[in-house]
Amino acid sequence: MEFDFIDVFYTKMAEKGINWEVSGLLATDGRIISLGSDSKLIGRIFELISYNLLQEIADENDFILQPSEQQTVYPDFTLMKSRGDCQKIAIDIKATYRKFNKNGELKRYSFTLGSYASFMRNGTKNIMFPYYQYKKALCNWFCIYKE
């Protein structure tokens, strides 16, 4: 039976009651410090929130979880049985903005693919392992709403 990462991920989120709404950083004196509008910072916070959940899934299913050591390298996380495994799972975290128009409706939005464009042209550039070793590529999208 094939490992269904998406089903396991959502089941684990439900079990733990994970809420992805983030208001800011909590200072030691109790103040909440706003995250501002830097999507890279917000994306990194979602990576940090995801890490423990991903590590638990890896441990329970005999996988190795390898986080990326650089922001410019795809993917953010690799799930694999071994370094030579040719059925790796790429897990990438993306954050973008959703804006409302004057009528209160959500506008269309866009996002960048970052290093995705690099390794698609060259299977080893800006990617943690050679592209051919990945069986699946999964993205977690987080949207930040702005007025």
The CATH number given to whatever domain includes residue 123 is 3.40.600.10
Task: Give the separation between CA 113 and CA 115, rounded to whole angstroms.
Answer: 6
Whether the model pTM is above 0.85: no
Task: Give the separation between CA 35 and CA 42, rounded to whole angstroms.
Answer: 7
CB within 8 Å of 81: residues ≥ 6 apart: 62, 63, 64, 87
Task: Give the separation between CA 8 and CA 143, rounded to whole angstroms.
Answer: 22
Specify the long-range contacts of residues 59-68, CB closer than 8 Å, at least 24 apart.
61/3, 61/8, 66/128, 68/128
Q: How many domains is the chain partitioned into structurally?
A: 1
Instruction: List residues with catalytic annotation.
Output: 76, 92, 94
* Chain centroid offset of residue 91 CA: 6
Task: Give the separation between CA 71 and CA 115, rounded to whole angstroms.
Answer: 9
Range of the domain at 122: 5-146
Each residue of 37-69: b (16+ CB within 10 Å) or e? Answer: eebeebbebbbebbeeebeebbeeeebebbebe
The kind and range of the H/E element at 137 are strand 134-146
Q: What is the pLDDT along the chain (147 residues), one digit of tens a residue?
A: 678 888 998 899 899 888 777 778 889 999 999 877 777 787 788 888 889 999 999 999 999 999 998 877 889 999 999 999 999 999 988 777 667 778 878 776 666 655 555 666 666 678 899 888 999 888 776 655 555
Q: Which SS3 state, helix, strand or coil, does residue 57 take?
A: helix
